[in-house]
Structure 1
Amino acid sequence: MNLKRIACGIAASCLLSVQAYQPVESGVLPLQERLSVMAQDQKRLDEQLSREDSSAEARALAWRRSKALAAEREQLERDIAQAKSWAQSPLLMHAAPVRVELSSAAHEGSKP
C-alpha cells in the first residue's frame, strides 16, 4: 500500500512540474529588461564622461559607476547564457510538454 502511495506521489509531482514549465525566454525577461535599463544608464554615463565641463570628481564617479555597470552587465549576460544552456539540457528539461517544444521550434523557424 505504501509503495502505491509513493508511486502516486512521484507521478503527481512529475505531472505538476510539467504544468509549471515556463519557456526560457519569458524566464529571463526581467534580466533582459535590466540589461536595457543598464544600456541607457551606460549611455548617460558615457555622455557625462565625454563632457569637458564636468568636474574631476564627477568624472571619477561616472567612471566608477560605468565600471560597475559593465561588471553587472557581464554577470547578467552569463546568467542568461547559463539559463539558455540549462533549457537545452535534456536532463533538466525532460518533463517539458510536447506542445511547448513544438511552439518554440516553430518560433525559431520563423526568425530571419
Structure 2
Amino acid sequence: KCLREAVGAHVFDVSRPHICRWEECLRMFNNFQLFLYHIIQHVDSNPRGNKIEGGVDCKWTGCKGNFASVYKLKDHMKCHTKEKIVACPDCDAIFASNTKFHDHCRRQIPLE
C-alpha cells in the first residue's frame, strides 16, 4: 500500500502558457489539449515504421533523445509536455505511462 498522503499530494499543476519547444517553434497555448495536439503534429511529421534506420530524433530544445519509432518518441514526449494518463486509485499519484504506473504498483506490494 502506498504510504503517501493522497490529499493534494499529486495534483498536477498545469501552468500557462504552454510553450512548444520543438526546434524553433515557440508557439504558445493557453489550452493544454491544443498544446498536446500541436506537439503530436510535430512528432507525426517523422517517418513511420517500427525500426527507423538511424532512429527518430526528439527535436525538443536541449533534448538529445533518439528513438526506434515514432511510437516511442510519442511516449517520450510526455516527459516534455508533463502529460499524465493514469492515476493510482490508492494514493492518487499520476503517471505518464501504464508501465510507470505498474512499476509504482509493484513497489507497493509488501515483501514477505
The normalised TM-score by structure 1 is: 0.26
Q: Which of these two proteins has the greater Rg computed from alpha carbons? A: 1
The normalised TM-score by structure 2 is: 0.26
